[in-house]
Amino acid sequence: MLEPRNIHKLKSLQGKLAYLQRFISNLASRCQSFSRLMKKGVPFQWDEACNKAFKSIKSYLMKPPVLIAPVPRRLLILYVAAQERSVGILLAQKNNEGKENALYYLSRTMMPNELKYSPIEKLCLALIFSIQKLNIISNLIAFIWSQKLTL
């Protein structure tokens, strides 16, 4: 996988990553440095931040975590996280040995107005995002976990 050298190649890369997003943890945050290159009127300038993000994605794809298929009628665990500029979720399920296995990853970057949210509002945004994306199985989710907040 080669570094994108123009906007067309970057869009192609992002399309491929979008197809694989359910397998990539925290994809929105990993691709954050690419977003400024996608803005209209901004010259394509691949810098060190873009290179670091690209290498991070590339190394992640070379040894991704194993996702399992969900076991019917077994409860699901939802982890929500909110970072400075993105929200993400992990849907997990315990196996027969009691160990949690990842089933699904989702993430997205925040809109400009959402960046102004407080930490608790950002977590609520992550929860709403997960419910919208996982609405078919939301009644099977037993636990919801998030990072600690100082209020």
Q: How many domains does the chain have?
A: 2
Residue 132 lies in a domain: yes
pTM beyond 0.85: the answer is: no
**97 and 124 co-located in one domain:** yes
Over residues 76-101, the pLDDT tens digits come to 888 888 989 999 998 899 888 988 89
Tens digits of residue pLDDT in 47-74: 999 999 999 999 888 886 778 888 888 8
Residue that finishes a domain, picked among 62, 88, 106: 62
Last residue of some domain: 37, 62, 87?
A: 62
Instruction: Provide the pLDDT confidence category of residue 116 given band limits of 50, 70 and 90.
Output: very high
Average pLDDT, the chain: 86
DSSP secondary structure string, the chain? Answer: -PPP-SHHHHHHHHHHHHHTGGGSTTHHHHTHHHHGGGSTT------HHHHHHHHHHHHHHHSPPPP-PPPTTS-EEEEEEE-SSEEEEEEEEE-TTS-EEEEEEEEEEPPTTGGGS-HHHHHHHHHHHHHHHTTTTGGGEEEEEE-----
Q: Which domain holds residue 129?
A: 76-146
